[in-house]
Amino acid sequence: MNSKDKQNVKSKEEFCSSIGISVKEAEKILRSTCGGELLYFKSKGTPKERGIGQLIFAAISNSRAGKIKNILEMGTGDGTTTKIFTQLFPSTKIYTVDLPPEDIDYSQYALQYRGKLFNDNISSPNIISVQNNTFALTDTIYADNFDLIWVDGGHRFPSVAWDAHIAYRAAAPGALVLFHDYKPGEPDVVKVINYVNAIIKEEVYFVKDNVYEEHYIAYFTKE
Ligand X SMILES: C[S@@+](CC[C@H](N)C(=O)[O-])C[C@H]1O[C@@H](n2cnc3c(N)ncnc32)[C@H](O)[C@@H]1O
- Binding residues for ligand X (CB under 6 A): 75, 77-78, 80-81, 97-99, 105, 109-111, 113, 133-135, 152-154, 159
Residue 43 burial (CB count, 10 A): 8
Pick the closer one to ligand X by CB: 27 or 98: 98
What's the closest the beta carbon of residue 201 comes to ligand X, in angstroms?
A: 27
Q: Measured between alpha carbons, how far is 199 from 144 in angstroms, rounded to an integer? A: 19
Strands (DSSP E) found in the chain? 9-10, 40-43, 46-49, 70-74, 93-98, 127-131, 146-151, 171-182, 205-208, 216-221
Q: Measured between alpha carbons, how far is 110 from 76 in angstroms, rounded to an integer? A: 9
Q: Which residue is nearest to ligand X (CB)?
A: 77
Pick the closer one to ligand X by CB: 85 or 205: 85
Pick the closer one to ligand X by CB: 64 or 75: 75
Query: Peptide bond before 101: cis, by omega within 30 degrees of 0?
Result: no
Q: Measured between alpha carbons, how far is 16 from 11 in angstroms, rounded to an integer? A: 9
Pick the closer one to ligand X by CB: 111 or 172: 111
What's the closest the beta carbon of residue 75 comes to ligand X, in angstroms?
A: 3
Q: Measured between alpha carbons, how far is 49 from 104 in angstroms, rounded to an integer? A: 36
What one-letter code names the amino acid at 187?
P
Pick the closer one to ligand X by CB: 92 or 134: 134
What's the closest the beta carbon of residue 83 comes to ligand X, in angstroms?
A: 9
What are the residues facing 130 on neighbouring strands?
97
Helix (H, G, I), strand (E, B) or coil at 42: strand
What's the closest the beta carbon of residue 136 comes to ligand X, in angstroms?
A: 8
What's the closest the beta carbon of residue 134 comes to ligand X, in angstroms?
A: 4
What's the closest the beta carbon of residue 108 comes to ligand X, in angstroms?
A: 9
Pick the closer one to ligand X by CB: 6 or 132: 132
Q: Measured between alpha carbons, how far is 77 from 7 in angstroms, rounded to an integer? A: 32
